[in-house]
Amino acid sequence: MHKLPGVLLKTRSLLAALLLLPCSLAWATDSPWALEQDEGNIQIYTRPVAGSPFLEVKATALIHAPIAHVAAVMGDGEGCSEWRAMCKSSEVLGTATDTERTIYMVLDMPWPVSDRDMVIHSVIDIDRANKTVSVQLEPASSEYPEKDYVRATTAGQYQIKALGEELSELTYIMHADLGGNLSADIINPRVTSSTYEDIKRLQVLAEQ
C-alpha cells in the first residue's frame, strides 16, 4: 500500500530535506525539555532558549508507515505540504547540490497577526547504516529580499528513523522567531497545540 516506484523513492527521500537535521539532534542549550502533551503516539516538549522570548518545541512520533512514505508526505519545498496548517505558499529558490537547497515560505498567520515569510537553508543527510533520514534547517534571510511580509526566522531539524518495514520514528525540533512586534505571550501558549496538530496530520496522512 505504501510502496513507491524506485525513482520516486529516491526523490522522496531527498524531499525530507525540507525540514530535517543531521543525525545529532542536540542544540547548544542546557535547558531540559518539559513534556507538554502525550497522546496518540505523539509527544510534545518545550523548553526556553537563551536570548529568545520564544519557546523551542520538540515532537516525537511513531508512524506506521515506511520511512520513504513518511518523507514523501513531508514534501519537498515546492508547494505547501498538506500537513502544514500555517503554510500559505512554498517554493525552492535554488538547489546547491542534491542534498542542499534554499526554500522560501510564506506563513498564513491568524488575524490580527500579519502574514510572515521566511527563507530556509536545508541540508539533508541519509544514513543507510542507521536507517535514518535527517535534515538541518537554518535561516537564510539574506538570500531573498524582504518585500510584502514581516520576515521570520527559523532553525530546526527533523529526523526519520526506520524501526521496521512499516514503522518509522519522527523526531522534530524547531525554534522560530516570528519577527515584528509580536509578543511571545501570544505564540508560546499555542506552540504545543499547533505543533501537535501538524504532527498528527502528518501521522494520519502517512498512515493512509
Pairing between strand 150-151 and 116-127? parallel
Helix (H) or strand (E) segment spanning residue 90: strand 87-97
Q: How confident is the model at residue 13 (pLDDT cuts 50, 70, 90)?
A: very low
**C-alpha–C-alpha distance, residues 24 and 6, integer Å:** 28
Percent of the chain with pLDDT over 90: 63
Distance of CA 89 to the CA centre of its chain: 15
Report the CATH architecture of 6-23+32-207.
Answer: 2-Layer Sandwich (3.30)
In tens, the pLDDT along 150-192 reads: 999 999 999 999 999 999 999 999 999 988 888 889 889 999 9
Reduced to 3 states (helix: H, G, I; strand: E, B; else coil), residue 207 is helix
pLDDT of residue 127: 94
Per-residue pLDDT, averaged over 29-49, amounts to 93
Instruction: Give the domain ranges of the chain.
Output: 6-23+32-207
In tens, the pLDDT along 93-141 reads: 998 888 899 999 999 988 888 999 999 999 999 999 999 999 999 999 9
